[in-house]
Chain A
Amino acid sequence: MKKLPSKTVRGFWSRKAFEVQFHWIFIMIAGAIILTFFITVVTKYQSVSEERFSLVLSKQLETILSGASIAKQTTQHIQLPLPLKTSCTETCACSFSTGTKVTQLKGTSLFSPSVLAGKELIYTTHDWNIPFRAGVFVYLTDDQQQYALVYDPGDSASTALLTKITQQLPQELSVKNISITLLSSIVLQQENKKIHLIFLNTLPDAFALRNAQENSGVIITVITAAGGVQFYARNTVQESNNVQIAQVPIASTWTSDAELVGAIFSDTQRSYACNLRQAYARAQWIVQVQNKRLDALQSRCSTTKIKETLAEFEKTMKVLSQEIGTQGEAPAVLTLRALQHDLAQENQQLAKANCPTIY
């Protein structure tokens, strides 16, 4: 066989080689386009999926909270796949959020720590009686929250408060009773755990304050038998050219068992006060219904005195719905306590006289 002309051979083989190279380049470009397309689809679907999951979870929580707000004295556990955050703005617009979804709390008084990041959510409810039933408070916590009731064994008011609170709290909660004399022997720093130190009719000692200052997982609340609550917040304090982080108490009050329990579950004064404001705003209408109902009751009994009490009650409710969390709270609460006592007595009188009662 004669040898082929080298130029032709070179031409032929270079074209073939070029064709093969171009083929592979084409395959790579097409492959890159397809891969990019699928990666884009998967990424988009992942973000939509996460958002949908947040939405579904928040909807389920909203349903659970709605159901809880009408249930009587229940305690339930549910799984918590995403952290739950609760917050209230300065205008007391309270909401909870899971992932990217924020849900407004519609008429539900919810007392809980600001962040719940445990695996299991525990919710419990308590009737709010003032002295008539004016609503249901819902309390949230998780398996990462621990509660320590610090009492003074030498103070009878402190031990009485301890007994009262222990009866109100659900048994599923991680609660320890600690004497103030033994507090410094306890380890307060635990990984992934938040510790609520509730001082009953006694002030926090230096050990507790130092731990709360150094560790944001330690929260201090002081509850007095006289009806006071102090939430300790970590704030910056200016002391003669030095800026320090210190525990600053912010005062509030409690008048009923439901509020007392709310003070234990809340970790900020703002969320506690906002929930109470909302509750008192609604209680104002309840009292109005009670008062006007007395006129409709065809009763042989005199209701003049109780109508005056209810009228005062309504005014106090209105004041409290605006003044809780401010300096005007304390005098209004004093008035409320007196009215509660009067109303309870007058209601008893109606019952003894076989007349229709207020509650």
Chain B
Amino acid sequence: MMCTKKSKITGIEKPRGIVQKAGTKNVVLVGRMLCFGSKKSQIQMFESVAILVVFFFFIAFGTTIWYGAQKASFAQDLERTLESNALAIALRASHAPELDCSLLGVQRQECIDITKAAQFANITLQEQARLSYFELFGFSTIVLHQLYPENLSVLLYNNQLSNATDIHATFLPILVEDPNKNTFSFGMLEVHTYAMP
């Protein structure tokens, strides 16, 4: 707001509000107050806008921090999900009816029949069988290791993902039965699961 105006009589720029005739003190004060008031309102307006700007800046800053924290939380959740998935696949493999040890309908827990394992490994080489077992085992590699007394490894299922972003390895101790020799050996089931990108 302009605080001066051009006088019509003298043509001189005078502060707004000052009366030509001998003004009273009050008129002068009013004039100055008017000038001062326009600057004051401008300052107040600027303050309000500045407060809002700072407020939204803090909001944006807080949102960025919260977004970063959520991202870390999601990454942790994803990791937990992948681990849970890997364990589920490993447990399905260790309890698969295709591989279990049984005698007259009674199943032995945590046991794999080596003769069944060998035949299962041959069957999963077929494309149709691999597609059928994809629902159960997904992208994973399942290997049966006989550790003691003899060393032997059987690749039960292999469906690797070439561009996997993560690989989880799960190891389960297992008994390995040989019905030909009627013996049990110590073994381990190694399951590698691949996370999709």
Contacts and interface: CB of A to CB of B under 8 A. Distances in A.
Contacts of A34: 55
Interface stretch (A11-19, A110-118, A178-186, A240-248): A11-19
Given A4-B27, A19-B41, A293-B115, A357 B91 contact: no
Contacts, number: 104
A4 B26 contact: yes
Number of chain A interface residues as a range: 35 or more
A359 B108 CA distance: 11
A356 interface: yes
Q: Chain A's interface: helix, strand, loop or mixed, by majority? A: helix
A359 B104 contact: yes
B3 interface: no
B135 A106 contact: yes
Given A30-B48, A30-B52, A8 B119 contact: no
A354 B123 CA distance: 28
B120 interface: yes
A281 B105 contact: no
B166 to A, nearest CB: 17
A59 B88 CA distance: 12
B103 interface: yes
A297 B179 contact: yes
Contacts of A129: 105
A79 interface: no
Contacts of B179: 297, 356
B52 A357 contact: no
B102 A66 contact: no
B102 A296 contact: no
Contact of B118 (A26, A296, A356): A296
B59 A37 contact: yes
7 contacts: A8-B30, A132-B105, A293-B113, A293-B115, A297-B180, A357-B104, A359-B105
Interface of B: 17, 19, 24, 26-27, 30, 33-34, 37, 41, 44-45, 48, 52, 55, 59, 81, 84, 88, 91-92, 94-95, 97-98, 100, 102-105, 107, 113, 115-116, 118-120, 122-123, 129, 132-133, 135-136, 138, 179-180
